Structure 1
């Protein structure tokens, strides 16, 4: 079946499937009388620091963490629009929150080992028992060692590991509208909490430019609906066009939470990348309290160390270690002023909503003493 027809068929039965799964898991929860898990979803946009935020929670031993599961959906249906892909993403998230890995067999070309899951070694839970029982595993999370020793753990042990943890944390940059996830908030078998990470779009652009070409396929999906509405031939959108769509999506996520009832509002926390960089321990504590986790001394020590190193300890796509305040200001030194102006125009409303001041000339851009991040209510 062609991907387009397969996805349309999927959308037509999505509601029935979701209801059947909901009834099944609700019945299991009621019959077992077990304690409900806490479910945390990190939403953000590309190159906004969500991988680092995910690692902050991943470093707690009670957390079962999965890095970017929605990516599998976008890879499965590369010719579809982002809006339509929210339906299979929602159901995949629901299954993983319930420790049900059966959908992975549909999305992964080979589903025998944990290592078939993209970025699997970014999860401490998948690098420790019961998922991985290698004899030489360190007591603390060590991604390189995990990658070398845990790749042949069976995929079935992923569900066992999930069930052994009190918190399930999923991270994605591919949820562009929280309205699609409303059934998850309303599901009585889930205790869903959303952490929404935003970042100055000018800094996002600089980071995207350093990985030019890597996000081309994702950009096409993000911008496809816009091109179809205007009946234009599909072409690769430029960074300003993509950022305009992404900024609107981040606004939409925040506004949905603000307009929701009080019960749902309490399940939403907005965090700015800049605040996390400036006060990592204070913001880290807020994140942990929101997730219902203890902010242990080991986690605090790791977070302090990883945000205060002068030089990154490793290079690559997901580099966490570095002087976090230097990273925040980097765009002001390296981004061309004409690009800054374009992004400020495309993301004007989002910048105002999230508390990012515009620069009016190159001199203001280079003046690092000028604070461009205003005080806003960060948790609403």
Structure 2
């Protein structure tokens, strides 16, 4: 690896001394890049071989069921080795690509006071879209809704081991660039590819006010199809350059992501001096999550429904293991955050959806206080208006709800047999977060019996 670096340096010195013409310099630099890449590929190959040869050590590093968490996220050992190798490749090729003019330094926001970067970390059907609106409605915050969706749809990684770790590293690196307002990074993953930094395919664009307001909202172009459009006004295709500039003008930035599996992957971002980063991990009763997913993603849970109603065929063991793995990932991240290691001190907050549903304005103020951002009257008005909607007045993806009435609605829609399965496989997570076990069908559907332990917000300064 040192030889590759020395070779690159020798060529740069030679180019400088001879003052060669630009086109020949570019050709030589490309040759240097190819040499370095070949050397680094050999190193990555050796690391991958080592991972394949030591499955037991990788399993033990997770300190949980190895067939579950490892299958989705790899382990800390594999993360450390691969991250080191990937970082060295990036660092060594950075100067080469800059000479070619093919890369940009990350955008840096102009100095206008402390700029906070807030990550709302959750899983699907935990109420994260609703909670994300607490930041989306604040005018001085640039908010992005699930931008990592594009990476999941574009980059293909086989489950398990080094491939799973590789996907997490891609997510993390894209996340860092987005927090630096380098929105161009998404152009590599949006399909079809944007043309001249214009795209009609920015996922759920309408869920980000910052992408639908002036000057990002350009004049509407008739007959131009846009799959993801703004909700309350007609805008032309998204101009990524205008969006990046708007990001820089905002005082703070917030982003919602349900594809970040483990908290420890985010340590380099938290330690990045350019980012004053705060992480809010949102959790919800896993029984409620399953009940919601069975409605939102009905086709994926047909076997669960048949087993619950007929009991003819056993549940798919892979599905049960996936449920266990999800719960374990959430629990392990929360335990790490609550331990408050030095790099996370004052930068991690755990909050339950049920507490937000019961006291939305109070919890919103707590989240803003944790992020060290002043909440505005507009946010407070939105919360009061959108948490008192009539029951059953909105769809499954709506952010309007009568939150105090609906947060326990799942208790009457999930069969007790399925609730038992969740309680069995997600018991450690439920215990950590204060969700009580229902011992029989009567307890499950008796609203006068609380299944929620009273806890203060999990936030340690």
Scaled by the length of structure 2, the TM-score of the pair is 0.68
1:123 aligns with 2:203: no
The equivalent residue for 1:67 is 145
8 Å Cα contact 1:104-1:111 kept in structure 2: no
Matches of 1:211 and 1:351 in 2, distance apart? 22
Distance in 1, Cα, partners of 2:455 & 2:372: 24
Residues 358-369 of structure 1: pairs in structure 2 closer than 5 A: 358-369=437-448
Partner of 1:183, secondary structure, is: helix
Evaluate the alpha carbon distance shift between residue 143 and residue 18 of structure 1 in structure 2; reply closer, same or farther with a 3 A threshold. farther
The superposition leaves residues 62-118 of structure 1 with CA deviations (integer Å, 9 ceiling, x where unpaired) of 111111122222112244334331101001000000011222121112224353211
Q: Does 1:283 align with 2:363?
A: yes
Shift of 1:25: 5.2
User: Greater CA radius of gyration, 1 or 2?
Assistant: 2
Alignment CA distance shift 1:102-1:318 (3 Å): same
Query: 1:227-246, aligned counterparts within 5 Å?
Result: 237-238=318-319, 240-246=320-326
Alignment partner of 1:352 is 2:439: no
**2:343 corresponds to 1:343:** no
Residues 371 and 15 (structure 1), Cα distance of their counterparts in 2 relative to 1, 3 Å cut: farther
Structure 1 residue aligned with 2:179: 97
Confirm or deny that 1:17 pairs with 2:90: yes
Is 1:296–2:379 an aligned residue pair? no
Aligned to 1:138: none
Look up the SS of the partner of 1:144 in the other structure. Answer: coil
What is the CA-CA distance between 1:273 and the residue it aligns to?
Answer: 0.4
The answer on whether the counterparts of 2:106 and 2:177 sit within 8 Å (CA) in structure 1 is no
Among residues 329, 338, 345, which one is paired with 1:258 in the alignment? 338
| Rounded Cα–Cα distance in structure 1 between residues aligned with 2:208 and 2:235 | 11
Question: Contact conserved, 1:281 with 1:300, CA < 8 A, in 2?
Answer: yes
RMSD of aligned C-alpha atoms?
2.8
Specify the alignment match of 1:111 in structure 2. 194
1:153–1:71 distance in 2 versus 1, CA, 3 Å: closer
Whether 1:374 and 2:453 are equivalent positions in the alignment is yes
Question: What are structure 2's unaligned runs of at least 5 residues?
Answer: 1-40, 46-81, 96-103, 221-228, 302-315
1:144 equivalent to 2:231? Answer yes
Match of 1:43 among 121, 127, 133: 121
Note if 1:181 corresponds to 2:283: no
What is the CA–CA distance in structure 2 between the aligned matches of 1:164 and 1:203, rounded to whole Å?
39
Residue 207 of structure 1: SS of its match in structure 2? Answer: helix
Between stretches 62-71 and 303-312, larger displacement belongs to 303-312
Name the residue aligned to 1:228: none
How far has the Cα of 1:348 moved from its partner?
0.2
**2:139 and 2:122 mapped to 1: Cα distance?**
24
Change in CA separation of 1:288 and 1:273 when aligned onto 2, cut-off 3 Å: same
Aligned to 2:400: 321
SS in structure 1 at match of 2:421: helix
Map residues 2-13 of structure 1 onto 2, 5 A cutoff.
12-13=85-86
The Cα shift of 1:143 comes to: 5.1
1:16 offset after TM fit, Å?
4.5
> What does residue 230 of structure 1 align with?
none
**Residue 87 of structure 1 pairs with residue 160 of structure 2:** no
* Map 1:173-252 → 2, pairs under 5 A: 173-212=258-297, 237-238=318-319, 240-252=320-332
Q: Secondary structure at the match of 1:111?
A: coil
Name the CA distance, whole Å, in 1 between partners of 2:378 and 2:111: 33
- The structure, 1 or 2, with the larger RCO (C-alpha pairs under 8 Å, 6+ apart) is 1
Distance 1:323 1:361 in 2: 28
User: Whole-Å Cα distance in 1 between the matches of residues 173 and 456 of structure 2?
Assistant: 32
Q: Which runs of 5+ in 1 are unaligned?
A: 136-141, 217-234
1:318–1:160 Cα change, 3 Å: same
Q: Mean alpha-carbon deviation: is it higher for 192-201 or for 126-135?
A: 126-135
Give the length in aligned residue pairs. 342
Cα offsets for 1:132-166 (capped at 9, x unmatched)? 1459xxxxxx95224xx124242221101111111
